Amino acid sequence: MISDEIQEFTPQWLDSKPYVEAFTSGSTGIPKRIELPKSDMRASAEATCRRFGIDHRSILHLCLSLRYIAGKMMMVRSFVSGARIISEEPSNHPLNDVSIPSIQNLLKEEKRISLSAIVPSQIEGLLQTPALQFIDTVIVGGAPMTPQQEQMLQYHNANAYATYGMTETCSHVALRAIGTDRYTAMPGITFDTDSRNCLVINAPHYTFGRLVTNDIVTLTGEDSFIWHGRYDNVINSGGVKIHPEEIERALASIMGNSEYFVTSRPSERWGEEMILVTTPTGLSAEEIMAACRLLLPPIKCPKQVVIRPTLPHTSTGKLLRRLDN
């Protein structure tokens, strides 16, 4: 129950310990317990409140579990700003249960929600709620959105942003407006890159100070970048480096609502060769291959399409890029 989580978290935030316990997202397997400095959480919350003009007159919407950083940070934003928070149990249909008194009052009084934080699986449900018209800003994190999900947000004219960050940075350090490709830094954050062209986060007012990531980017300024994909996902096929995430975006128009990812397998000829793994799309593997050849250059075309009933996920719902036998 989210109310139980709030009652558990509040004394943790107010106690004398300089940190709060949290769990990483589990992108590489089992979520890991870490200790987050409260000073970093406060700095992150204050930056978000400045960015979106959140103060004691604002209303925040919590529909995420406080077990993970995104839920915790909504509470911290409320604490540092004095904003009111309305909460509900996490589900794929946030703000749709009008039997919840706070949501009833919201609709009746036509009060505005300054900020709602959701994960991609909640997008479709949120767009169905009558309360959507009263939300000023939606931030989406936890996992990459599909192109279809971004298109839905644009179609409904939602003022929405994709977040870039991780548990270790206490939520996001950059935001990307839906429909654009550039992430812009939060106040006080700057960026550079390492020898791999991976993003380096400079945050002098955080305890970590400088954090090297595994995300390959193109800098567009010291406070902005375009994200290409994860360094550990790069496929080297015959000397050509391929970013699976870019291929996945290029294939969005033919993959419908299926879940899919691009990965590789060993190849005697190329070292590695790319394959596409997907849930059923309504097309055969041969038809998907034919469509790929129309959209992609030969070197970036999958060598095989593998169709599986379901795909593996982490405990937090992120898609695992692996081909189980």
Sign of the torsion formed by the C-alpha atoms of 52, 54, 60 and 62? positive
* Percent of the chain residues past pLDDT 70, beyond the cut: 96
pLDDT band at 67, cuts 50/70/90? Answer: confident
Quote the tokens at residue 145.
């959105």
pLDDT digits (tens, 9 = 90+) for 156-215: 999 999 999 998 999 999 999 999 999 999 999 999 999 999 999 999 999 999 999 999
Give yes or no for residue 111 having a pLDDT over 80.
Answer: yes
pLDDT digits (tens, 9 = 90+) for 283-322: 999 999 999 999 999 989 999 999 999 998 876 677 888 7
pLDDT digits (tens, 9 = 90+) for 133-155: 999 999 999 888 888 899 999 99
Residue 266 parent element (H or E): strand 260-267
Contacts of 54 (CB under 8 A, 6+ apart): 48, 60, 77, 81, 83, 114, 115
pLDDT digits (tens, 9 = 90+) for 87-105: 999 999 999 887 778 778 8
pLDDT digits (tens, 9 = 90+) for 191-208: 999 999 999 999 999 999
- What is the mean predicted confidence (pLDDT) over 60-69? 92
Give yes or no for residue 324 having a pLDDT over 70.
Answer: no
Task: Supply the mean pLDDT for the chain.
Answer: 91
- Determine the pLDDT at residue 20: 93
Q: Which amino acid type is present at position 215?
A: D
- Determine the pLDDT at residue 28: 52
d(CA 302, CA 133): 42
β-bridge pairing 138-140 and 115-118: parallel
- Determine the pLDDT at residue 145: 87
Give yes or no for residue 223 having a pLDDT over 80.
Answer: yes
Residue 238 CA neighbour count, 13 Å, CB half = 7
- Determine the pLDDT at residue 30: 64
**In terms of Cα–Cα distance, which of 278, 283, 280 is closest to 260?**
278
CA angle 54, 60, 62 (to 5 degrees): 145
* Percent of the chain residues past pLDDT 90, beyond the cut: 72
If DSSP codes are grouped into helix, strand and coil, which group holds residue 179?
coil
CA angle 299, 302, 303 (to 5 degrees): 95
- Determine the pLDDT at residue 315: 66
